[in-house]
Structure 1
Amino acid sequence: MPKTLSPDDILQFRETMRRVAEHAFATRGEQGVTMRELAKELGCSAMTPYRYFRDKDDILAMVRAAAFNRFATRLEAAARQAPETDHSAVAEAYVAFALDEPHAYRLMFDLAQQEGGYPELAAASRRAWRMLGEHFERLVAAGILEGDPQLIGYAYWASLHGFTMLALANQLPLPQAQQSADARGPTREAVFAQIRRMLWRGAQPQRG
């Protein structure tokens, strides 16, 4: 007879599965992962994961929900600690998360997964987008930026995502710390600063 699982047993197994599955999905793709392979990597029987998850999509939803929650936590902390008029803190936190957790970042935005059957994933995704929306709503309400906060948020996200994906693919100039003393040309930090300036100026009220 199977052992009765305590809440701690369930939490521990799900967290172990999250770490293993995040790496597997990010490196092999959704189609390249099976429940049997995940069980083997965990060192358990092929049927054990089914005590905790309905199927592979359930595991993927759990992994993505955890990633969105960590992402939102990072952005929320940056927004709380920075002055209300600071436009760079959230953008810097966004890129820092992606560079620190590239597997999680890719799984958040590279996959199209229906969220309807996964309330935890839907809630985590809404949390992240709500944070970005509220950030730009405050800036517009204060008269610092002008326009539709949602549209501004999407423009910022598209720009930051493009920069981030190029950085993850090593298609941008090297960071300053990795460049030689006699290197000429921009650094990755300089490119990021230029993007932020261009976005910020484009959304500022027009004076005239």
Structure 2
Amino acid sequence: MASVFFQVLSRMPRVLSATDVADFRDRLCEAAERLFAEKGPDAVTMRQLAAELGVSPMTPYRYFKDKDDILAAVRTNGFTRFAEALETARGSGKGANVGEAYVAFALEHPDTYKLMFDLNQPNDDSYPELVAAGQRAHDNMSAWVKDRIAAGKMTGDPEKIGAMFWAATHGIIVLEMAGKLPKGAAQDLRNLLTVTLVKGLRPGA
């Protein structure tokens, strides 16, 4: 009787602690980020994600509703880490550090960057945490522009100016990632374009 009891007990699903859940979600998101970036989200299945972690095909469903849920979590994590990097750079008090931090993050985490900016989920609004993380990243990308305008070093619409810097910076990053620019060129060009744009945006320029 005792042996039967222990056999049944051993087959019962283990109760997961909050730490267990967080650890598995992190591992799943890490694997998903790589596969999504390599193959594109549409080509990745939940079964493939499970295989990457060596678990049963149904295991990921214990942690996420579906693949879109995983993609949203991956992108939310990316935007959050990106925003933190920009906030740290801005907190240093040196405006140039924000641009350097942007390029450094993109080149150090190319898979994350691609998923953040090279695609949109059609149901973004279904994930409030993703929307909030994306807005936080956007706010940080333009915050230093507002700092420069407040200090009298630039003049103009901060949103439009921020979009110009963003478009130019994103462009040179993508070119370096694609091998169209030599390694390190994105950071050098970012320095040059910042100086050039700031010069043209000075009051009375």
Q: TM-score normalized by structure 1? A: 0.88
Contact 2:99–2:190 (Cα < 8 Å) also in 1: no
Q: If you compute each CA radius of gyration, which structure gives the higher value, 1 or 2?
A: 2
Q: Given that residues 173 and 186 in structure 2 are in contact (C-alpha distance below 8 angstroms), is that contact kept between their aligned partners in structure 1? A: no
Letter in 1 for 2:196: M
Residues 1:45 and 2:56 are matched in the alignment: yes
- Residues 25-104 of structure 1: pairs in structure 2 closer than 5 A: 25-83=36-94, 86=95, 88-104=96-112
Q: TM-score, normalised by structure 2?
A: 0.89
1:178 counterpart residue number: none
Partner of 2:30: 19
What is the CA–CA distance in structure 2 between the aligned matches of 1:71 and 1:17, rounded to whole Å? Answer: 20
Residue segments in structure 2 that go unaligned for 5+ positions in a row: 1-11
User: Following TM superposition, by how much is the alpha carbon of 1:202 offset from its aligned partner in structure 2, in angstroms?
Assistant: 2.3
Partner of 1:137: 146
Q: 1:173 aligns with which of 182, 186, 197?
A: 182
Q: Residues 188 and 53 (structure 1 numbering): CA distance in 2 closer, same or farther, change over 3 Å?
A: closer
Cα 1:103–1:174, aligned 2, differ >3 Å: closer, same or farther? closer
Between the aligned partners of 1:130 and 1:69, the Cα distance in structure 2 is 12
Pair 1:189–1:70, CA change in 2 (3 A): closer
Q: 2:113 aligns with which of 105, 108, 111?
A: 105
Deviates more, 1:128-137 or 1:106-115: 128-137
Structure 1: segments with no counterpart, 5+ residues: 176-186
- Name the structure where helix makes up a greater proportion of residues: 2
The whole-number CA distance in structure 1 between the counterparts of 2:200 and 2:113 is: 27
Distance 1:189 1:160 in 2: 9
Q: Percent identity between the aligned chains? A: 46
